[in-house]
Amino acid sequence: MAELIKFSPLLISTSIKHYLNGPPRPSWDLKFHLTWALYKSIFSYTSMGAKTIEQMQEDTFRPTPVQAGAMINEFKINNKYRHEAQVHLEKILKPYEHVLDTEWRDLNDNEINAEWVQVPNDEWEKREIRKTILYLHGGGYYLCSKESHRNITSPIAKKADARILVINYRLAPQNQFPAALQDALAAYLYLLNPPKDAGFEPLNPKNIVISGDSAGGGLSLALGLAIRDAGLPSCAGITCWSPLVDLTPSVSDDECIDFLPNLAKGINHAESQISKEFKEKAAALTAKIKKQNLGPKIWHDSFDKPDGRLEMYAPNEGLAIPYVSPMLAESLCNLPPLLLVAGGDERLRDEAIYFAHRSAEPNKYKGPSYNAGKFEKSPLQTPTNTTLEIYEEMLHVFQGMEHASTTKSYERTVEFMNRVTNVLNEPLPPSSYNCINAKGEFGPLKEHHKKVLNWEKIGIVPNITRN
């Protein structure tokens, strides 16, 4: 209540502006306008370093309401699945191990907190196609939880008539890359080979769709790459809402009205025990990487920042690892079908556009200049079937807000899930890039959307002064 009272002047002034001057975008009603103003103020407030990491985490862990007609079953995934995931990750991360903190190998006995989101009495166990969604929540790899995203996962469960497995993967800065990826892979392995008391038989991977929003969307794509590169059975498809796919961040759009701040400028936090420990460990790892020359340089010179780390999730020297920044992978081919969704007015729009083109037309759209020639030598050359949808006038993860475009996006996402799991018994259309207006009408991408396709500095950290 105190938080709401604090923002009362903002809500009143925004309401007055809405009726006097109109909303920032024509299709926004008052509620959407107020939500945008509130989010923008909160992000601006936190960006000024007013809260500690611990306070921000606590704030974003709060549960959101479960939509009527859905239910939650909480449980824990045994730590043995983390150990299994570790075996696979050690193989594919070997080229990068010299830039990673070794702590991720030191597993404690903690289990993974998880939950099933489902419709009551769905008789899922008896179905021929047990459609299952592994959902990875957003939050910049250091905020939010499975509980905070129930306002998103519960409507998906209802609309898709599927069971959704959601996990609390380990968060930064307390847990560095690849801890989050390890937990995501562990959850996938759990679905493929559940324990005897799980209440369901092993799932056909072609019944599984991996989904996520924001950082969870980036983690979903990183998981897809890890599954591919480890030689594990592929899932049916991957859906991403506003995915964070480039942590350098080389294509962040600074000229938009999104509430999300410019990630290249960083987010400040008040000093705390966690931030102090993180900075000390980060500085020690960077010194170790640079001084001991442990392995080949896999980062660009622009990653060298005297003021410290660009991200809490991974060291600067590790930002080009494909499982950190999927955009920068040598090849985005041979992945399961992808659905990438972004708002037309959001910060991460351009990287979603470029990622979609790289995956669907790999010979035309290249990766970073420092990876030149590597795709041509890769055995992974089959273009990925990719559907890109840009919703005009929409913001970052607009699916958590009320709007006609939200309804349309849910419908399209569920249709994609039904196609890739063969529920509809209809083939998936070829790759496409779509712009969808506020009326739900489809068209090609606009010219301003295509500007990023000429960008030649993919994966190069922009020269921006951090706050």
Would you tell me how many other CB atoms lie within 10 Å of the CB of residue 383? 17
Computed over its alpha carbons, how large is the radius of gyration of the chain? Answer: 21
Cβ neighbours of residue 448 closer than 8 Å, sequence gap 6 or more: none
Would you tell me how many other CB atoms lie within 10 Å of the CB of residue 231? 10
At the second CATH level, the architecture of 71-256+321-454 is: 3-Layer(aba) Sandwich (3.40)
Segment 188-237, tens digit of pLDDT: 999 999 999 999 999 999 999 999 999 999 999 999 999 999 999 999 99
Write phi, then psi, for 47 (nearest 5 degrees).
-65, -20
Segment 59-99, tens digit of pLDDT: 999 999 999 999 999 999 999 999 999 999 999 999 999 99
Q: pTM of this prediction?
A: 0.97
Mean per-residue pLDDT, 419-445:
95
pLDDT for res 250? 84
Segment 318-336, tens digit of pLDDT: 999 999 999 999 999 999 9
| Residue written as token pair 């903190």 | 101
Q: What is the full DSSP assignment across 109-142? A: SPPEEEEEEE-TT--GGG-SS--EEEEE--STTT
% of the chain with per-residue pLDDT over 70:
96
| Residue written as token pair 């958590």 | 400
Which one, of 407, 389, 311, lies nearest residue 352 by Cα?
389
Q: Is 80 exceeded by the pLDDT of residue 46?
A: no
Q: Is 90 exceeded by the pLDDT of residue 263?
A: no
- Written as six digits, the tokens of 338 are 């992808």
> Are 189 and 81 spatial neighbours (Cβ–Cβ below 8 Å)?
yes
Q: Where exactly are the structural domains of the chain? A: 2-47, 71-256+321-454
pLDDT for res 467? 47
Which one, of 443, 438, 325, lies nearest residue 388 by Cα?
443
